[in-house]
Amino acid sequence: MNRHHNLRGIVAMLLAVAMFSLMDTGLKLLSPHYPALQVAAMRAFSSLPLVIGYVAWRGAFHTLVRVRWPLHLLRGVLGIAMLSLFTFGLRHLPLAETYSIFFIAPLLITVLSVPFLGERVDSSRWTAVLVGLLGVIVVLRPTGSGMFTLAGLAVLGSAVCYSISAITVRIVGRTDSTESQLFWLMAMVAVGAGAMAAPGWVAIRAVDTWALVGVAVFGFLGQLAITEAFRLGEASAIAPLEYSALAWGLGLDWILWRTLPDAVTLIGAAIIIASGVYLVRRERVHLESEHP
């Protein structure tokens, strides 16, 4: 893979992180006014027209029916849980602190790759995972005085759901199209979360229309950008850039809510990020040694 493609992949990844950060800002703005399940449904419903338009542009409607339904249903359930838990966490926590906890996801994917994908994880990688978990404990501060709350645990649960979903994507991606994965995830979250939220549905305020539009557009653009990033660039060069979300979280927290995380949260985030970057870089060295 040439350096030009890598550079384009890096730019696409930075754009993806920016788009998802802005989408999460929209979710946080909506979260105080609507139940978490309803926000998850609104996020999916608002994106569906864009997803359908994308599938039509790609001429991929025929791929939507030839899919592995059990895996898509599992992703739908995980998507509902992930979005609902993440939204609940956002309601009570600043963006930067929410991201700091969610950064455990890449490490959890490493752990789950052993039983579900049959990958081998050596002692160095296990050590990096344990160090990352230590970082999460630092952020959560289970002393009764920190963030060891339902909100913090909800974000942790969201990261677990995301990690399992990522493993599922690796499996279903062997046979099913990207368009089918994107469409059925949004459709199932919209229908499933919408049905569960229906009994307590809160009328959508006109003033929140712009936030919903932002969630739809930024979420859709972010999904396209991250797909392009991993298509063009080496995973070892692209994946660590996900941690740039912390910078967006810090900036948006300050601009919109005039809040900043304390030193303990930043230390925990640094530990998680360092262990994640180590894992990705070590994998690159391992691959290069196998394919000189």
Q: Is residue 34 part of a domain?
A: no
Q: Is residue 223 part of a domain?
A: no
Q: Is residue 58 part of a domain?
A: no
The phi and psi torsions of 233 (rounded to 5 degrees) equal: -105, 165
pLDDT of residue 64: 93
CA-CA distance, 81 to 160, in Å (whole number)? Answer: 10
Q: Is residue 252 part of a domain?
A: no
Looking at the predicted structure, is the pLDDT value of residue 289 above 70? no
Mean pLDDT over residues 214-238, rounded? 79
Per residue in 99-112, pLDDT (tens digit) is 888 888 877 877 78
CA-CA distance, 3 to 122, in Å (whole number)? Answer: 30
Per residue in 27-56, pLDDT (tens digit) is 999 999 999 999 999 999 999 999 999 999
pLDDT of residue 217: 94
Nearest in space to 95 (alpha carbons), one of 157, 145, 161, 20:
20
pLDDT of residue 87: 95
CB 193 within 8 A of CB 37: yes
Residue in the block written with tokens 């493993």: 167
SS3 content of the chain, % helix, strand, coil (to 5): 85, 0, 15
CA-CA distance, 173 to 47, in Å (whole number)? Answer: 21
pLDDT of residue 19: 95
CA-CA distance, 21 to 97, in Å (whole number)? Answer: 13
Average pLDDT of the chain?
Answer: 84
pLDDT of residue 142: 61
Amino acid identity at 246: L
pLDDT of residue 145: 47
Residue span of the structural domain in which 146 resides = 68-175+262-292
pLDDT of residue 229: 79
- Three-state secondary structure call for residue 149: coil
Domain count, the chain: 1
pLDDT of residue 178: 84
Per residue in 178-187, pLDDT (tens digit) is 889 889 999 9
The H-or-E segment that residue 93 falls in is none
Q: Is residue 194 part of a domain?
A: no
- Asked whether the CA dihedral 20, 22, 24, 26 is positive or negative, the reply is negative
Q: Is residue 135 part of a domain?
A: yes
CA-CA distance, 27 to 211, in Å (whole number)? Answer: 8
CB 41 within 8 A of CB 189: yes
pLDDT of residue 146: 47
Q: Is residue 155 part of a domain?
A: yes
Looking at the predicted structure, is the pLDDT value of residue 287 above 70? no
- What pTM was computed for the model? 0.83
Looking at the predicted structure, is the pLDDT value of residue 193 above 80? yes
The winner for highest mean pLDDT among 144-153, 175-184, 232-241 is 175-184
Q: Is residue 124 part of a domain?
A: yes
Pairwise pLDDT comparison (3 vs 33), residue with the higher score: 33
Pairwise pLDDT comparison (283 vs 52), residue with the higher score: 52
